[in-house]
Amino acid sequence: MNIFTFLNRANATKQAIDNPRQAGTEFIKGIVEGYAVLVGFWTLVVLGVLGTLGFTDLLSGPYGWAEVIFYISVALVGLSLVGVFSAYRFIKRQVKQLESKVRSKFATKVEVVKVIEPDETI
């Protein structure tokens, strides 16, 4: 392990100790983004192969079945992206509402108090 890796891990550990909630959020976000990149890459590979087979002369093409599967795949990918984006916005909105409700429940109530100063003539 070189010095830069050590310092990077030490800094991440310090930040996780200082703010564990943010560290947990960053960890989960990293896992989700990693899977999203992996799924997106393989989806593009499949669409590229189907597009190549369906619309070009490569490999004795174009094949009608590849073109049909390509259009079906593009429609499914588009619909799933709309669904995932809508679900993300819904979850984010619900979390904000719940967070606001919890904060308002535990918020301290401020009462105005009139201060009577002692009379110096007494």
Residue 116 domain flag: no
pTM (2 decimals)? 0.59
The reported pLDDT for the residue numbered 105 is 78
Say how many domains are in the chain. Answer: 1
Contact by Cβ (8 Å): 82, 76: no
Residue 61 domain flag: yes
Top-confidence residue, 12 or 85 = 85
Residue 58 domain flag: yes
For the stretch 52-95, pLDDT in tens is: 999 988 888 789 999 999 999 999 999 999 999 999 899 989 98
Residue 115 domain flag: no
Round to whole Å and give the CA distance between 11 and 46: 40
State the sign of the Cα–Cα–Cα–Cα dihedral 36, 42, 48, 51. Answer: negative
Q: Phi and psi at residue 38, in whole multiples of 5°?
A: -65, -50
* Spatial CB neighbours of 62, under 8 Å, sequence gap ≥ 6: 53, 54, 55, 56
Residue 96 domain flag: yes
Supply 10's token pair. 């030490």
The reported pLDDT for the residue numbered 68 is 93
Residue 21 domain flag: yes
Domain containing residue 66: 3-105
